[in-house]
């Protein structure tokens, strides 16, 4: 026959340990919270890059290529439910030269904004984005024209001190010379982060 005192002691011990057991189960079942990128805004980050331009009238001039320089005027990466996780505004200047006719040069000036497709960024590699540029485009043999250019891109690496970006756009010149000034543009550049809003 089981001693009643022994049963009372077991019941008391069970009731005493029950809260600790429940707490342990909760910790086991609780999923770790995923950390997302949430960084201070960046100001006036200089950018150095290279462009290749394929005009509509490709057979006349061939592709253009050349260096670019610019600034990322403002860049913000944050965790948000109803907004892009990253957005940026920039200015860019490019000097291009025809591969087939070295005397034909092209100047491209752009201001624009880009926005990530994602609302939460939990990694620093391969971040897709989209955006729109506007500005001016000219060749030494063609008059200056405004342009409006949509683009898609991929931030290959997004670091705390620098970022590497690749994008493709369609330069849409808004003039009667659009066939000479419009075309596809491939662009890559590296941003160097020097200042933040903190």
Same domain, 104 and 189: yes
44: left (phi over 0), alpha (psi -120 to 50) or beta: left
If phi > 0 it is left, if psi is from -120 to 50 it is alpha, else beta; for residue 161 that is: alpha
Query: In this structure, are 153 and 173 located in the same domain?
Result: yes
Domain count, the chain: 2
CATH number of the CATH domain containing 73: 2.40.160.20
Residues 103 and 166 in one domain: yes
Q: Is there a single domain that holds both residue 152 and residue 59?
A: yes
Range of the domain at 17: 1-30
Q: State whether 71 and 155 are in the same domain.
A: yes
Same domain, 6 and 82: no
- Rounded to two decimals, the pTM is 0.78
Domain check: are 11 and 89 in the same one? Answer: no
Q: What is the pLDDT of residues 63-116, one digit of tens each?
A: 999 999 999 999 888 776 667 888 999 999 999 999 998 899 999 999 999 999
* CA–CA dist 10, 77 (Å, integer): 56
HSE (CB half, 13 Å, CA atoms) of 65? 7
């Amino acid at each position: 026959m089981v001693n009643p005192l022994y049963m009372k002691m077991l019941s008391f011990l069970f009731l005493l340990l029950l809260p600790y057991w429940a707490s342990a189960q909760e910790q086991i079942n609780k999923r770790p919270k995923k950390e997302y990128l949430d960084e201070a805004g960046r100001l006036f980050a200089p950018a150095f890059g290279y462009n290749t331009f394929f005009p509509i009238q490709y057979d006349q001039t061939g592709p253009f290529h050349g260096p670019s320089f610019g600034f990322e005027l403002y860049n913000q990466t944050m965790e948000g439910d109803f907004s892009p996780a990253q957005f940026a505004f920039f200015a860019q200047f490019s000097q291009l030269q025809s591969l087939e006719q070295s005397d034909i040069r092209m100047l491209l000036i752009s201001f624009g904004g880009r926005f990530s497709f994602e609302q939460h960024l939990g990694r620093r590699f391969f971040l897709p984005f989209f955006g729109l540029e506007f500005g001016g485009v000219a060749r030494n043999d063609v008059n200056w024209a405004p342009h409006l250019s949509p683009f898609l891109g991929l931030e290959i690496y997004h670091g705390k001190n620098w970022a590497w970006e690749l994008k493709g756009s369609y330069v849409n010149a808004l003039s009667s010379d659009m066939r000479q000034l419009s075309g596809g543009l491939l662009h890559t550049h590296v941003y160097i982060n020097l200042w933040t809003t903190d």
